[in-house]
Structure 1
Amino acid sequence: MDKAFSPYRSPVINLKPHVQALLDHLGRDRLVWGSDWPWTRHEDKHTYRDTYGWLSDWISDADDRQHILDTSPRALFKLGV
């Protein structure tokens, strides 16, 4: 879990294929979603809602998305053990 994608910082315009490659290669158990919002020097460009929209666009399967949002971070941080 040492890679992060930030569309507003990336020279790559479409990150969806890269996120899909990570999902295919690592599996949803090894991915977590996070946001560094509010961004310094970027506050006027995007909202927190935008970040969730990016996730919904990149991970179209609702079950995978829920796993990345809930199950994977719980395992990573040993919550509910």
Structure 2
Amino acid sequence: MDTSNNLTESEIRHAVREEISRAGWSVLSTVFWTILSAFTILVGLQAVQIAFYTSGLVALAFVAVGVLVTGASMYLLYLLHR
């Protein structure tokens, strides 16, 4: 159980560098997916807005796509930031 006490200073430094690198990539990934999700929410809302200027089955399709894209993007934001 005392194997962690036998680590050398270079092994500890290596482990710390590795974890800092992972944390940095995690932050960059979260920022990227947050920006992408916010953008796709706007795309989904734009699809719903376009539906107001069309008629018939096309309007229904735009509403369905808009609601699906907006909902999926909001769910992604929820998962990223809960």
Would you say same fold, with TM above 0.5?
no
Structure with greater helix percent = 2
Structure number with higher relative contact order (C-alpha < 8 Å, ≥ 6 residues apart): 1
TM-score with structure 2 setting the length? 0.26
> Which structure has the bigger radius of gyration?
2
